[in-house]
Amino acid sequence: MDNAPWAPAGLPAREYLLVMLTAAAATFLLTGLVRLLAIRVGAVAYPRKRDVHVKPMPRMGGVAMYGGVLVAMFLAANLPTLSRGFSYSNDILAVVIAGGLIVLVGALDDRFELDSLTKLAGQVTAAGILVLFGVQWFMFWVPWGGGDAGHVGQLMVLGSNQGQLLTVLLVVAMINAMNFVDGLDGLASGIGLVSATATFVFCLGVLDRQGGDVNAYPPALIAAAIAGACLGFLPYNFQPAKIFMGDSGSMLIGLMLATASTSASGRMNYAYMNPTDTIALLSPLLVVAAVLFVPLLDLIMAVVRRTRAGKSPFHADKMHLHHRLLEIGHSQRRAVLLIYLWAAVIAFGAVSLTLFNAVVVAWVVGLGVLLAAIISVIPRMRTRADRESR
């Protein structure tokens, strides 16, 4: 039997699409059952002063999403092409085990309201599991230094401890960023879908540049699985929601996005550093930044705002980005769709830099940002116009 680490000619796009659709279908079917289970065990979110929903809502939807991921991974392990990726990397096994732990911690929080330190311990442990299985950053390119002619920037090689610490910090930051942004019906699941799809497209590009190397299969598979899980959960979660994903879902999305990006970074070819390779070398960091941008910006703003007010960084309020959009005058659905637009412009803009002409991408992204900005302020402009007409 041929065990060489390369795939047949062409990319296994159909297999990845089948995995994504399977994750979506399995999650959709499981969500109804998990909703009944959440009600029975008392995993219900009751309205609080800072919340947008006005009636008790079952949560723990992340359990159904994880079930969809497991079904998708089981299918992939039995497909002729994708199954080979399980033999050359432990990344998929790592994310399944770490995902199971983070969903367990999240489900307990959805039911019993765990304290912040307990959740943080669970997040760090899950990130540690990834590191133990070899999912970590080993090196990355930075745009400074590198004085040789024809070379841009330099390659930074991380020591074992540095790479492990960076990986843990990235995973914990992504988990909490997705958790912070989960404030409106369909918001976290939609951003997860957009971000995972963009990451998946990027990972396919990496796989293509590697000539179909089986070692490059895992990041695309991880991204496809969580994209499908978000897609399958969204019909239950979009406004008006029938169930919340809870911490079990938002933390799972964050963990898998961080894992896919970290896994993809290790598949890049860092042997050459010249102007023509700059975009390719930067693409892992660009994708990570794009995936993190919307929730991480919200996280940073919340921490700064609460610290300046003399409150704990974990003190909850109603000043997140989605709350501000509601105050401006957007409806829940329009606010969520608008944040989808911002996330898509950033994520797909970053990925497009590795696939198309940079000038064309810059123009398209610029127009997308301008369109999103105009749509964001339209309600406020209408309010001012109404006041002036009076």
The reported pLDDT for the residue numbered 130 is: 96
**272, pLDDT greater than 50:** no
Closest C-alpha to 244, from 88, 74, 23, 63: 63
* pLDDT of res. 281: 38
How deeply is 101 buried, as exposed, middle or buried, from its count of CB atoms within 10 A (0-12, 13-18, 19+)?
A: middle
Residue 179 counted as an annotated binding residue: yes
Of 235-239, 339-343, 366-370, the range with the lowest mean pLDDT is 339-343
- Of the candidates 220, 242, 198, the one whose C-alpha atom is nearest the C-alpha of residue 28 is 242
The whole-number pLDDT of residue 208 equals 83
> Considering only CA atoms, which of 201, 234, 190, 223 is closest in space to residue 339?
190
What would the mean pLDDT of 251-278 be, rounded to a whole number? 71
- The token pair that represents 342 in the structure block: 């911002």
Span 185-206, pLDDT tens digits: 788 898 889 888 988 988 888 7
pTM: 0.82
- pLDDT per residue as tens digits for the range 23-60: 999 999 999 999 999 999 998 887 665 555 457 889 89
Tokens of 300: 């940073």
Q: pLDDT digits over 100-156, tens only?
A: 999 999 999 999 988 989 999 999 999 999 999 999 887 766 666 665 555 556 667
The structure tokens 């309201």 sit at: 113
Q: What are the residue ranges spanned by the domains of the chain?
A: 13-274
pLDDT of residue 265: 76
User: What amino acid occupies position 67?
Assistant: G
208 is in an annotated binding site: no
User: What's the mean per-residue pLDDT of the chain?
Assistant: 79
- 101 closest CA partner among 132, 136, 72: 132
Burial of residue 57 (CB within 10 Å: 0-12, 13-18, 19+) is buried
